[in-house]
Amino acid sequence: MTYLLDILQGIGIAAAAGVSPFLPLAAASLAGLARLGADYDHTSLSVVGSPVVLALSVILAVLALVLRKRLEEPTAERVLLGLGVVVGAIVTGATVADHSSTWWPGLIAGGLAALIAGLGVRSLLRRTRARLDDETRTTLAVGAAVGALAVAILSIVLPPVGVIAVGAGVWLYFGGRRQDTRKHAGLRVLR
């Protein structure tokens, strides 16, 4: 049962990292340092619970907010999603390693959770940003990062939130694809 709860906790943090990689990493690192729901000491991935990772992730989160406009470009979005997948995989692996020596499935589960949630939320954000002015787009970016932090914290405290987070990512992704399909279904080329 502990293994399942660790996987659920990890995929919740990973799903949040898929949306915004830095604040969920900071939450996981802080939880590890405070030994609240996670203890990464004496694991193969103990670096997750280090003060250096905590400080670096907070600095990168602030930098990402400052560079918001550049990070909305497609290439930058893909890089951030890739970072989220790596962070999600590592954090989930570290969470599983807390209670088990077989932690490698956490790498796979975390990477997939981050990818699924990241694709779903990015799809929603891309559709929403197109209709907003610059100030509101900044608010949306801050909201996405804070929402990711909230999901990570909730996943640490209540591990089953991880399943809900991944399910929401799937729903957002496929809901957006259905909407795009319907939008283009009525278009015809007139010659």
Is there a domain that residue 36 lies in? yes
Is there a domain that residue 102 lies in? yes
> What is the Cα–Cα distance from 107 to 89, expressed in whole angstroms?
4
Please give the residue range of the domain that contains residue 121.
Answer: 2-185
8-state DSSP, 49 = G
Is there a domain that residue 190 lies in? no
- What is the pLDDT, as a whole number, of residue 59? 96
Is there a domain that residue 86 lies in? yes
Is there a domain that residue 130 lies in? yes
- What is the pLDDT, as a whole number, of residue 16? 95
Long-range contacts of 121-128 (CB under 8 A, 24+ apart): 121/18, 121/19, 121/169, 121/172, 122/19, 122/77, 122/81, 123/172, 123/173, 123/176, 123/177, 124/172, 124/176, 126/77, 127/176, 127/179
For the segment 93-103, what is each residue's pLDDT rounded down to a tens digit? 999 998 888 88
Instruction: Look at the chain and report how many structural domains it folds into.
Output: 1
Is there a domain that residue 30 lies in? yes
Is there a domain that residue 15 lies in? yes
Is there a domain that residue 191 lies in? no
- What is the pLDDT, as a whole number, of residue 188? 55
For the segment 51-87, what is each residue's pLDDT rounded down to a tens digit? 999 999 999 999 998 888 888 888 989 999 999 999 9
- What is the pLDDT, as a whole number, of residue 14? 95
